């Protein structure tokens, strides 16, 4: 067997393992027999001292709103778990994840996915049980960065790369963004128009049967915003102003 054939065989074995591991991980994560183990890994993404200071103030208790919302919403769909999610916070990670390729052709994305998996394995500093979902919180100083790149939640690898502002004023909004991306890793799809950010009717509305339809008072978590009219919407101030709609509940395995 030539070196080229050995290399191809090895690559196929690795890819086969990844596919099998992804399938089994996805199946276990959405069975909801036990609380979903989520670990948040904070990263100073802009290298600024003020960002480091903010990260040093983070505690697991700041993410209790995840548990509160998911417990309330899951009970509406008949889920019997006392708590559908367990959130832990790791020590900060000092390196950045591989950059998402600008050219999204299939080979580039596959290669990036392999590099990301290796990076998550190499940098994982969490000491507890192996997480089922890894959320990498990339923090930026809002005084320097007025806007952030789009966050990404990957279902197959159960990894989320989340762009956030390192500021207490944005903490509640950060939690909304984190949970939105976490649900992506479980199979939930976006329910808003990507060109306008306007929630899609009816699946992107918290109360699609409301009369009158507008203004809505809450956001569907994957709709992303609270619809105020057919053309206007606003970000919810916190997770208290969000719900998980029926379509999202089906996608993440709460409704069969």
d(C-alpha 64, C-alpha 85), whole Å: 10
pLDDT of res. 190: 98
* 66 shares a domain with 102: yes
Tell me the two tokens of residue 52: 């480091």
Residues 6+ apart with CB under 8 A from 29: 36, 132, 133, 158, 185, 186
* Predicted confidence (pLDDT) per residue in 12-44, tens digit: 666 555 555 555 555 566 789 899 999 999 999
* 143 shares a domain with 212: no
Q: Do you know the residue count of the chain? A: 256
Domain of 233 in residue numbering reads as 188-256
**Local structure of 162: helix, strand or coil:** strand
Q: Does residue 242 lie in a domain region?
A: yes
* Predicted confidence (pLDDT) per residue in 93-122, tens digit: 999 999 988 877 888 888 888 889 889 999
pTM of the model: 0.89
pLDDT of 1 above 80: no
* 198 shares a domain with 178: no
* 141 shares a domain with 62: yes
* 202 shares a domain with 87: no
* 200 shares a domain with 134: no
Residue 113: how many other CB atoms lie within 10 Å: 18
Number of domains in the chain: 2
Q: Which of 129, 158, 182 is the last residue of a domain?
A: 182
pLDDT of res. 54: 98
Residues 6+ apart with CB under 8 A from 42: 55, 58, 89, 90, 92, 93, 137, 139
Q: Which of 136, 151, 182 is the last residue of a domain?
A: 182
């Amino acid at each position: 067997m030539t070196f080229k054939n050995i290399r191809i065989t090895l690559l196929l074995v690795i890819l086969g393992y990844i596919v099998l591991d992804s399938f089994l991980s996805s199946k276990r994560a959405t069975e909801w027999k036990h609380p979903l183990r989520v670990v948040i890994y904070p990263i100073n993404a802009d290298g600024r001292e003020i960002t480091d200071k903010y990260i040093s103030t983070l505690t697991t208790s700041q993410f209790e709103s995840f548990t509160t919302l998911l417990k309330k919403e899951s009970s509406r769909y008949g889920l019997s778990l006392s708590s559908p999610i367990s959130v832990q916070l790791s020590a900060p990670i000092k390196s950045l994840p591989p950059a998402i390729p600008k050219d999204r052709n299939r080979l580039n994305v596959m290669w990036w996915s392999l590099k990301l998996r290796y990076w998550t394995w190499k940098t994982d500093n969490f000491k507890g049980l192996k997480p089922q979902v890894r959320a990498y919180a990339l923090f930026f100083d809002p005084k320097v960065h007025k806007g952030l790149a789009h966050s990404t939640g990957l279902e197959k690898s159960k990894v989320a790369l989340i762009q956030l502002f390192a500021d207490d004023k944005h903490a509640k909004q950060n939690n909304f963004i984190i949970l939105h991306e976490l649900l992506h890793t479980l199979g939930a799809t976006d329910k808003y128009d990507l060109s306008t950010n306007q929630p899609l009717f009816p699946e992107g509305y918290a109360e699609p049967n409301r009369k009158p339809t507008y203004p809505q008072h809450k956001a569907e978590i994957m709709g992303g915003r609270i619809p105020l009219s057919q053309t206007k919407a606003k970000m919810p101030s916190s997770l208290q102003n969000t719900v998980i709609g029926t379509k999202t509940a089906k996608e993440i395995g709460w409704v069969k």
